[in-house]
């Protein structure tokens, strides 16, 4: 998969268009963008499910946002993982989706969206699956904490199937944190056209 990639994503129930943009070296990220990432990542649900354990309860900071952007860009340069920002029609970051590895046979995905925006993540993940299919991915999976019902419903709406509840290492930016957690695993076979 090669950057840049930019796709339009329509918000459910409206004609409002958002964009899915590869977070590669060519995408300009401003100080305001970093502040928006910090704000989103400190929202209660996003923080609880993605950052509480890796950050040991400390707040997500602008330094964390910079590290995330650098990490995302490195993934595109090395063709190992592929992070996309979700932006609204005013180019404000509202979320993020990613294909977390270059393993075409079965790759994990990740995602988050600000609580202030509803009706975008289903279409954003549909778009991500289309990009993955075009790149030759055969199966995607997501690991979800068992009490994260919003994420579970989202995956089920997209046709992901619950395949088990493994105990997995918690990772942060691709690195193990030393903590383990029970996750529900949801998988989706991609039909290659």
Alpha-carbon distance of 97 to 5, in angstroms, equals 13
What does the pLDDT average to over 176-184? 91
Print the domain residue range for 22: 6-189
Among 45-49, 129-133, 189-193, the minimum mean pLDDT is found in 189-193
| Position 175 confidence tier, pLDDT thresholds 50, 70, 90 | confident
Has residue 77 been placed in a domain?
yes
Instruction: Please write the tens of the pLDDT for every residue from 39-58.
Output: 999 999 999 999 998 999 99
Question: Cα 29 from chain centroid?
Answer: 17
Higher pLDDT, 174 or 125: 125
Has residue 1 been placed in a domain?
no
Has residue 113 been placed in a domain?
yes
Residue 31 belongs to a domain with what CATH number?
3.40.630.30
179 within 8 A of 56, measured Cβ to Cβ: no
pTM exceeding the 0.75 threshold for the entire prediction: yes
Count of the separate structural domains present in the chain: 1
Has residue 143 been placed in a domain?
yes
Instruction: Please write the tens of the pLDDT for every residue from 4-25.
Output: 999 999 999 888 999 999 999 9
What does the pLDDT average to over 56-62? 96
Backbone torsion region of residue 36, taken as left when φ is above 0, otherwise alpha when ψ lies between -120 and 50, otherwise beta: alpha
Has residue 82 been placed in a domain?
yes
Has residue 40 been placed in a domain?
yes
| Position 191 confidence tier, pLDDT thresholds 50, 70, 90 | confident
């Amino acid at each position: 998969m090669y950057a840049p990639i930019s796709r339009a994503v329509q918000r459910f129930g409206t004609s409002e268009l958002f964009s899915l943009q590869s977070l590669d070296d060519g995408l300009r990220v401003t100080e305001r963008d970093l502040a928006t990432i910090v704000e989103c990542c400190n929202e209660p649900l996003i923080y609880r499910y993605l950052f509480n354990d890796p950050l040991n309860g400390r707040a997500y900071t602008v330094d964390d946002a910079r590290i995330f952007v650098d990490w995302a860009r490195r993934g595109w340069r090395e063709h190992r993982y592929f992070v996309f920002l979700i932006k609204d029609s005013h180019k404000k970051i509202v979320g993020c989706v990613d294909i977390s590895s270059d393993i075409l046979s079965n790759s994990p995905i990740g995602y988050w969206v600000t609580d202030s925006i509803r009706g975008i993540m289903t279409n954003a993940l549909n778009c991500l699956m289309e990009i993955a299919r075009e790149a030759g991915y055969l199966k995607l999976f997501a690991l979800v904490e068992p009490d994260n019902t919003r994420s579970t419903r989202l995956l089920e709406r997209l046709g992901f199937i619950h395949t088990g509840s493994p105990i997995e290492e918690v990772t942060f930016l691709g690195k193990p944190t030393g903590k383990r957690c029970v996750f529900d695993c949801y998988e989706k076979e991609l039909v290659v056209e």
